[in-house]
């Protein structure tokens, strides 16, 4: 302790405070409590790097010092306030809603002052109003930072906030005194001048100044710590964050001499005394005033009741239930297939919805989808996402065209919702796969009001590799150890990159870390908890009947790649259920827009899911797409490794395709080979095998487990809860023992013994972690089949639409892959690029099997090039030189196009290249350079004198046209060397332009794969066809058989074989094996 706290001084100060002091003089003189209202955590790292300290460390320190409050505020916003509220509740701390806002005089002016101010909500209303202020700072006050202004602030009720003048950054204006006095007058006793204890000249001068203002105007003072970390470890983390963000751990040079930790009260007093501005009484007063937040602020209680959007507020709940029933009845009347089973299903599902009190959710989404599609031209998948397809009534409401009563995979409505789960706090969750978000957001805003729908925010944490690097640097890990762990992490990241989003949770980085480094790596995990940015959620949107500006608040998410700013609701999706908020997921899925574009191109609507099933049933053309691996732009099968798995499995119906999609998840890997080879598999009990006949006895789906659990006497409504508990490792202790006993009893009733129970139970436990949602797998199979069917039956349109689609998305690699597949698998030929053709888009002709490529598909070719060149197509040019003189012609495109023989009407490639080089020499910005200096020895002969005036030092060309034409006449009209030409063409377009029937049998080598027996990928120069040759390893010479060489060869066809567990077997396909070869040149 610094010294015995001065009880007499404390006793003197208490009665003079503007609030009821929460402690007695005796208690306070022993403990001298204070509240750290001005602090920053890693949540301030949004828009800047500011702290590496997370909330748990602050909470630990708060409790060590016997403080009472946890504040949400950060630079520019109220922080992740619901998460902070949640922490405060769990740690029995008082939650205080706050922010260190940026402010300017006029938020509509481009004023970079961005002064600071602390605002703490004093009332529940104040919480909403602070959210509103920060929302407006983001809506119309954003300039460099989100800024409120004095007009906003001074319009607020002074009893709703406690305000402090914050740090030195609060005093940037020359007339700051007048502004603060105006603020102080408005907020009265709820305003404090903030004093900080930094022992710098700037801080001491400011403290002396505001102390004078305080004494002169009777404005109270308060101690602000401005903590950015708790202790030394946090200080190091902060330096590492500055290094990470700015490559400079001392980036903020103005902070030199600042204290940025979270000290005890003795240290606070000591620092103020060292600073030498405040008297002892003033130091005590400033510290004691921090306790204004303990009891003078209302306790904020966040309502956890459901806040489902209600678009019919004029109706009672009973009336809204009737409306819901009426919608279902009217929709069912239009259903082509009716049955007693469906009627019973509708009644059962409707009862779950109405009894759980969530009718409004389904009414809202029915209206939203209807409005988005009909008024705003929104595109939504005909299939579904997640378990939504498991509810037949979702089909009647227009969310999907799946019919669970006609499903080819097991589907149970209990997987979507049950009243028990909803009443326990788990909201139903409709996820919509769509083409674009604006139509659906516009529909939501029309239904709920302008501020009733905003995207959620997400918090980005330091990624694994960066966290490890910063930890290594901060803790002196040796370079060799640091590199070794980094390589392990790289292997993890590579696998993660090639894993679907649904499966990423099953990939654990610690499985990749060598055992000798495991403990060292785990020490870096704390760095992975550091927030580095705030992002806009890719699909989740908060929907709310009311004003999100006040209820939640808005915040800006800035893209680090594009710098685009998106306004988001200030809440993460993970907290919505617990506090009764509702979200809709509008997930942009490329397959939705592509499928719509496919069918629009042939003037047809996208078929319903049931129509699609009829279209593909027994349709060999469609299923051959999968069997042959022609799956570029076929949903779920685009990765080469997945396509190869399908070529082995050869799905022949939608049931098998759905099973395949579920089976390729990483966690199913131990059984995948058995599945792909269609080998017999048993779960270990004949009765259960019969139960799982529809999945070849595999537990592929969560519904498979639900079926087993129900078979063993667990009620179907409880089964999904059991699966979630197992998968999240929450089924432990008495709960697990009770369930096992229940299952044993059911097992005995079914089988009469317990012989295989333990073995099968282990299979069920393992399967719960990878069991896939059957409705989701079924939907993805449908999304895939739309594209496979279209590719099989409208091949030319498929490639034309897909290539133009990816041209608009600037995805040149995808365009290249599509064009190569069309050439290799369907025998299409790419027409050579030629000047005067319309190459602004892609045109695929199914009759002559040609592809007119878009000029922008060439690597490095800017999009505007095709439009510029097309605008020149009807002009007459005397020569290539005449063409080169065109204004607005991007010169960086000329040489690549020459190499592609694009300008063949003017001459051959080398000839044009030489002319272009001459042009570059003699022209500057399309203006001819008339002067040729004699000392350069350029063209100094009788030839130059023919076209120029001569002086002592230079020639001045007088006949530009004659001069250039004579130079050009001396250039031979010939092509570039063939190999150089072909290499450039292949690298730029993926094919070759110079196909000549006379060169048939000469192959241009594109690539060599030596993983197994070497495979040589090449193009026949006579036909343009892509060939795939294999050769014996003993015959392969890596020094001679290299890409971009020309090869003559003889081949011999042999049956293709693959290795199985029983040996090698023929696949029915043939491979061409090279028997003799010769490399040209």
Above 60 in pLDDT, residue 697? yes
Residues in CB range of 293: below 8 A, 6 or more apart: 35, 37, 69, 71, 94, 96, 120, 162
Above 50 in pLDDT, residue 885? yes
Above 60 in pLDDT, residue 936? no
* Kind plus residue range of the DSSP H or E element containing 780: helix 774-793
pLDDT tens-digit readout, 717-763: 888 788 777 766 666 778 788 888 888 898 888 888 888 888 888 87
Neighbours of 640 (CB within 10 A): 13
Above 50 in pLDDT, residue 188? yes
Quote the pLDDT of residue 2.
45
Above 80 in pLDDT, residue 585? yes
Spatial contact of 735 and 444, defined as CB atoms under 8 Å apart: no
- Distance set, CA 68 to CA 23, 61, 667 (Å): 12, 11, 46
Quote the pLDDT of residue 1070.
84
Distance CA 625, CA 634 (A): 9
- Of 496, 348, 336, 489, the closest CA to residue 418 belongs to 348
Distance CA 598, CA 799 (A): 9
pLDDT tens-digit readout, 489-530: 998 888 787 666 656 666 788 889 988 999 999 999 999 999
Distance CA 477, CA 302 (A): 45
Above 60 in pLDDT, residue 455? yes
Residues in CB range of 544: below 8 A, 6 or more apart: 307, 309, 448, 452, 453, 551, 552, 581, 582
pLDDT tens-digit readout, 302-345: 999 999 999 999 999 999 999 999 999 999 999 999 999 999 99
| Percent of the chain whose predicted confidence (pLDDT) is above 90 | 59
Query: What share of residues in the chain are helix, strand, coil (percent, to 5)?
Result: 50, 15, 35
- Higher pLDDT pick, 669 / 661: 661
Residues in CB range of 233: below 8 A, 6 or more apart: none
Quote the pLDDT of residue 957.
83
- Higher pLDDT pick, 22 / 716: 22
Where does residue 868 rank: exposed (0-12), middle (13-18), buried (19+ CB within 10 A)?
A: middle
Quote the pLDDT of residue 769.
66
Distance CA 995, CA 864 (A): 28
Minimum mean pLDDT among 221-225, 610-614, 787-791, 965-969: which range? Answer: 965-969
**DSSP string computed for 272-325:** HHHHT-S-HHHHHHHHHGGGHHHHSSPPP----S-----S-TTS-HHHHHHHHH
- Distance set, CA 697 to CA 679, 711, 804, 1034, 1069 (Å): 11, 15, 43, 45, 30
- Of 861, 850, 864, 857, the closest CA to residue 806 belongs to 857
Residues in CB range of 623: below 8 A, 6 or more apart: 616, 650, 651, 652, 653
- Of 181, 207, 349, the closest CA to residue 286 belongs to 207
| Token pair 């005397």 in the structure block, residue | 878
Q: How many CA atoms lie within 13 A of 914 on its CB side?
A: 17
Question: Mean pLDDT across the stretch 803-809?
Answer: 91
Question: Mean pLDDT across the stretch 1026-1039?
Answer: 84
Minimum mean pLDDT among 385-389, 958-962, 995-999, 1062-1066: which range? Answer: 1062-1066
Question: Mean pLDDT across the stretch 170-187?
Answer: 97
Minimum mean pLDDT among 40-44, 92-96, 353-357, 697-701: which range? Answer: 697-701
Distance CA 633, CA 853 (A): 18
Quote the pLDDT of residue 1062.
65
Quote the pLDDT of residue 1.
44
Q: pLDDT averaged over the chain?
A: 90
Quote the pLDDT of residue 999.
87
């Amino acid at each position: 302790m610094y010294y015995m706290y001065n009880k007499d001084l404390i006793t003197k100060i208490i009665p003079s405070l503007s609030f009821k002091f929460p402690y007695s003089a005796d208690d306070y003189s022993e403990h001298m409590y204070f509240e750290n209202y001005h602090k920053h955590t890693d949540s301030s790292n949004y828009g800047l790097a500011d702290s590496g300290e997370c909330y748990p460390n602050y909470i630990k320190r708060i409790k060590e010092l016997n403080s009472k409050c946890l504040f949400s505020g950060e630079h520019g916003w109220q922080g992740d306030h619901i998460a902070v509220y949640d922490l405060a509740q769990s740690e029995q701390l008082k939650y205080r809603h706050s922010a260190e806002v940026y402010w300017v005089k006029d938020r509509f002016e481009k004023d970079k002052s961005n002064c600071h101010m602390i605002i703490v909500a004093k009332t529940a209303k104040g919480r909403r109003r602070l959210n509103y202020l920060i929302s407006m700072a983001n809506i119309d006050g954003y300039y460099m930072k989100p800024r409120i202004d004095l007009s906003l602030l001074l319009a607020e009720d002074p009893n709703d906030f406690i305000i402090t003048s914050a740090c030195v950054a609060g005093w940037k204006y020359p007339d700051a005194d007048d502004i603060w006095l105006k603020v102080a007058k408005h907020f009265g006793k709820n305003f404090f001048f903030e004093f900080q204890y930094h022992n710098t000249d700037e801080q001491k001068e400011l403290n002396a100044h505001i102390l004078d203002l305080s004494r002169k105007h009777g404005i109270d003072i308060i101690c602000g710590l401005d903590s950015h970390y708790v202790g030394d470890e946090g200080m190091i983390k902060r330096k590492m964050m500055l290094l990470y963000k700015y490559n400079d751990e001392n980036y903020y040079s103005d902070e030199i001499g600042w204290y940025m930790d979270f000290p005890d009260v003795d240290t606070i007093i000591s620092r103020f005394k060292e600073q030498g501005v405040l008297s002892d009484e003033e130091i005590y007063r400033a510290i004691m005033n921090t306790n204004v937040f303990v009891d003078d602020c209302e306790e904020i209680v966040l309502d956890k009741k459901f806040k489902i959007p209600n678009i019919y507020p004029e109706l009672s709940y009973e009336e809204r239930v009737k409306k819901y029933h009426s919608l279902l009845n009217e929709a069912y009347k239009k259903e082509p297939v009716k049955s007693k089973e469906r009627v019973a299903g509708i009644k059962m599902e409707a009862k779950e919805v109405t009894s759980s009190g969530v009718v409004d959710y389904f009414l809202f989404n029915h209206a939203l989808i209807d409005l988005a599609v009909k008024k705003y031209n929104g595109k939504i998948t005909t299939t579904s996402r997640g378990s939504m397809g498991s509810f037949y009534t979702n089909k009647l409401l227009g969310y999907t065209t799946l019919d669970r009563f006609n499903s080819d995979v097991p589907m149970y409505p209990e997987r979507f919702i049950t009243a028990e789960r909803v009443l326990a706090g788990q909201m139903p969750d409709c996820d919509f796969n769509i083409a674009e978000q604006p139509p659906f957001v516009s529909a939501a805003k029309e239904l709920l009001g302008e501020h009733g729908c905003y995207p959620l925010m997400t918090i980005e944490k330091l990624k694994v590799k960066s966290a490890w690097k910063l930890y290594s640097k901060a803790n002196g890990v040796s370079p060799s150890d640091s590199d070794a762990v980094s390589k392990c992490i790289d292997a993890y990241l590579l696998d993660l990159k090639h894993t679907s989003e649904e499966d990423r949770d099953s990939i654990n980085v610690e499985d990749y870390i060598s055992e000798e480094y495991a403990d060292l790596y785990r020490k870096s995990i704390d760095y992975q908890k550091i927030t580095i940015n705030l992002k806009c959620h890719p699909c989740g949107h908060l929907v709310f009947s009311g004003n999100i500006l006040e209820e939640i608040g808005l915040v800006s998410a800035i893209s680090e790649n594009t710098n685009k700013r998106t306004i988001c609701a200030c809440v993460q999706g993970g907290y919505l259920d617990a506090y009764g908020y509702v979200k809709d997921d509008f997930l942009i899925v490329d397959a939705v827009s592509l499928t719509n574009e496919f069918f629009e191109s042939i003037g047809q609507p996208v078929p319903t899911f049931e129509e699609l099933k009829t279209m593909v049933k027994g349709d060999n053309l469609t299923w051959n797409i999968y069997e042959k691996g022609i799956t570029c732009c076929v949903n779920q099968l685009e990765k080469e490794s997945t396509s190869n798995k399908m070529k082995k499995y050869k799905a022949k119906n939608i049931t098998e395709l759905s099973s395949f999609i579920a089976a390729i998840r990483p966690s199913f890997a131990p059984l995948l080979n058995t599945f792909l080879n269609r080998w017999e598999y048993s779960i270990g009990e004949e009765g259960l095998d019969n139960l799982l006949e529809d999945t070849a006895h595999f537990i592929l789906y969560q519904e498979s487990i639900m079926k087993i659990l129900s078979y063993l006497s667990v009620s179907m409504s409880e089964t999904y809860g059991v699966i979630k508990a197992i998968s999240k490792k929450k089924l432990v202790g008495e709960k697990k023992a009770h369930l096992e006993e229940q299952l044993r009893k059911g097992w005995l009733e079914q089988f009469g013994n317990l012989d295989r129970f333990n073995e099968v139970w282990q299979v069920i436990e393992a399967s719960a972690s990878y069991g896939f949602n059957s409705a989701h797998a079924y939907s993805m199979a449908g999304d895939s089949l739309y594209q496979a069917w279209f590719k099989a039956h409208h091949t030319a349109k498929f490639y034309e639409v897909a290539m133009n689609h990816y041209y608009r998305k600037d995805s040149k690699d995808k365009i290249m892959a599509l064009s190569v597949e069309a050439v290799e698998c369907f025998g299409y030929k790419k027409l050579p690029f030629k000047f005067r053709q319309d190459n602004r888009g892609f045109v695929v002709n199914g009759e002559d099997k040609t592809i007119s490529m878009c000029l922008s598909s060439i690597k490095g070719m800017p999009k505007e090039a095709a439009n510029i060149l097309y605008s020149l197509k009807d002009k007459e040019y005397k020569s290539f030189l005449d063409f080169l003189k065109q204004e607005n012609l991007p010169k960086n495109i000329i040489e690549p196009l020459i190499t592609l023989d694009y300008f063949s009407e003017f001459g051959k490639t080398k000839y044009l290249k030489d002319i272009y080089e001459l042009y570059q020499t003699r022209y500057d910005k399309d203006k001819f350079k008339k002067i040729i200096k004699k000392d350069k020895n350029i063209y100094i002969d009788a030839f130059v004198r023919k076209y120029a005036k001569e002086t002592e030092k230079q020639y001045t060309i007088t006949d530009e046209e004659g001069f250039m034409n004579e130079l050009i006449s001396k250039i031979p009209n010939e092509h570039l060397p063939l190999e150089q030409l072909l290499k450039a063409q292949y690298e730029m377009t993926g094919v070759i332009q110079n196909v000549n029937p006379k060169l048939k049998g000469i192959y241009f080598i594109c690539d060599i794969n030596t993983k197994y027996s070497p495979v040589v990928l090449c193009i026949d120069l006579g036909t343009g066809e892509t060939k795939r040759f294999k050769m014996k390893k003993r015959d392969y010479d890596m020094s001679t058989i290299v890409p971009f060489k020309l090869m003559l060869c003889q081949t011999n066809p042999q049956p293709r074989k693959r290795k199985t567990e029983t040996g090698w077997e023929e696949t029915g396909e043939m491979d061409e094996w090279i028997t003799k070869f010769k490399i040209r040149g």
